[in-house]
Amino acid sequence: MKGWKGRRRKGKQTVRALPKWELDEGVPLVRPDRGDVLVSASIGPAGDLVALWSTGEGEAALRSVTTQPGWATFPDPTAARPVAARVSRQVGNTAGVMPLAGLTLAHPSVQPLPQGRVLVVGARCRWRAEGPDHNAEVYDGDGRIEARATLGDGIEHVFTTASGEVWVGYFDEGVYGNYGWGDVNSAPPMGNSGLVRFSPQLEPAWRFPSHVDNDWDAIDDCNALNVTDDAIWTCYYTDFPIVQIRDDSVTGWRNQVDGARALVVSGTRVGLLGGYGPDRDRFAVGELAGQAMRVVGEYRLVLPGGGPLPAHVTVIGRGEVLHVITADHWYRLSLDDVAKQ
């Protein structure tokens, strides 16, 4: 224990010694109602912020968990009760709002779809012999459900494209099975490839190749995912290669930066935010050359004024822009600005 604590203390000192990169002033999140609480937030293909809101009581119901003997907790696939929620789509300081009545998907994330529609996806999904949970719902522009589908369990990332395709990255339980998936008499996990592209009709259209079929090994946990209309980028456990998917072909580069939870890309430049333990605020900038990424700069990402990032923060890469979303503000950092330094 002493050795572990010593290594952790040394890691904190190393990160604190990095030069700070201070985020520019962000914009306040636009709450639909004064008392609304942020349930989840993400970034759409056009760079707009899409967020799900509810009351404090509603937010608690949407984060429903089951506690087992021994105090182990498991996120529920279904909310504790139907919840009145609101989806906002914010550009700059203005936002449009869509009300959702009776939302029951627990631990939800949201993404925009063409024609003003919205996709809501629950992170967990239970398999049953009579049929798995539907953990994806498409709402029309008036907030009415027009389609339901199953995207599988253990969902870490959901990003749509301008044409309505849906890219889903899975964490380890979604890859190897839980909640009934992957048992002897059940279906294999829908996310067993770690990364799946779904059609606009929410049917599986492409899966990340297995370790037999690609040189960069299989995905055990899709740590970071960046979706653009031109290419998809990911960095995943266990060896954390930087991988590009373009026209369903996979290209990769070796990488020595472990545990990144967001990545941004501009040309041959890559930025990786995060890591394990004290490295959670590390922002590593690298250059893709040959078969590897060469780190050319490392920083500690901080809020305007120099304060640390909050413990609970959403970080998302879309193209070259890193989005940092707190409970109250939305910050953006372009990799091109960092590359100029």
Q: Is 279 part of any domain?
A: yes
Dihedral sign (CA 187, 191, 194, 200): positive
**pLDDT(9) > 60:** no
Question: What is the percentage of the chain residues whose pLDDT exceeds 90?
Answer: 91
CB 106 within 8 A of CB 63: yes
* Residue 306 located in a structural domain: yes
Choose the final residue of a domain: 163, 185, 207.
207
Q: What CA–CA distance (Å, rounded) separates 192 from 176?
A: 6
126 and 224 inside one domain: no
Last-in-domain residue among 152, 185, 207:
207
pLDDT tens-digit series, residues 149-208: 999 999 999 999 999 999 999 999 999 999 999 999 999 999 999 999 999 999 999 999
Q: What is the pLDDT of residue 105?
A: 99
Could you give the 3-state DSSP secondary structure of residue 158? strand
Q: Give, in order, the Cα–Cα distances in Å from 217 to each of 15, 146, 245.
A: 29, 38, 14
pLDDT digits (tens, 9 = 90+) for 28-65: 999 999 999 999 999 999 999 999 999 999 999 999 99
Read off the pLDDT of residues 56-92 as tens digits, 9 standing for 90 and up: 999 999 999 999 887 789 999 999 999 999 999 999 9
Residue 320 located in a structural domain: yes
Same domain as 296, residue 182 = no
In a domain, 212, yes or no: no
Same domain, 14 and 144: no
Same structural domain for residues 192 and 52? yes
* Same-domain check for residues 198 and 65: yes
**Residue 17 falls inside a structural domain:** yes
**Same domain? 179 vs 75:** yes
For the cut 80, the answer to whether the pLDDT of residue 212 exceeds it is: no
| Same domain assignment for residues 111 and 233 | no
Same domain, 236 and 185: no
Q: Which residues contact 258 (CB under 8 A, 6 or more apart)?
A: 240, 275, 276, 279
* Overall number of domains in the chain: 2
Pick 315 or 3 by higher pLDDT: 315
In a domain, 319, yes or no: yes
Choose the weakest-confidence range: 95-99, 207-211, 275-279: 207-211
Final residue of a domain: which of 187, 207, 227?
A: 207
Q: Do 182 and 38 share a structural domain? A: yes
Tokens representing 224?
A: 């970071």
Q: Are residues 160 and 248 in the same domain?
A: no
Query: Are 51 and 81 in the same domain?
Result: yes
Asked if residue 213 is part of any domain, the answer here is no
Average pLDDT, the chain: 95
**178 located within any domain:** yes
Average pLDDT of the segment spanning 263-283: 98
pLDDT for position 16? 72
Task: Report, as an integer, the average pLDDT of 2-20.
Answer: 62
Is 174 in the same domain as 223? no
- State how far the Cα of 38 lies from the Cα of 56, in Å rounded to an integer: 9
Q: Give the residue with greater pLDDT, 312 vs 69.
A: 312
Amino acid 3: pLDDT:
46
Neighbours of 120 (CB within 10 A): 23
Domain extent, residue 55, equals 31-207
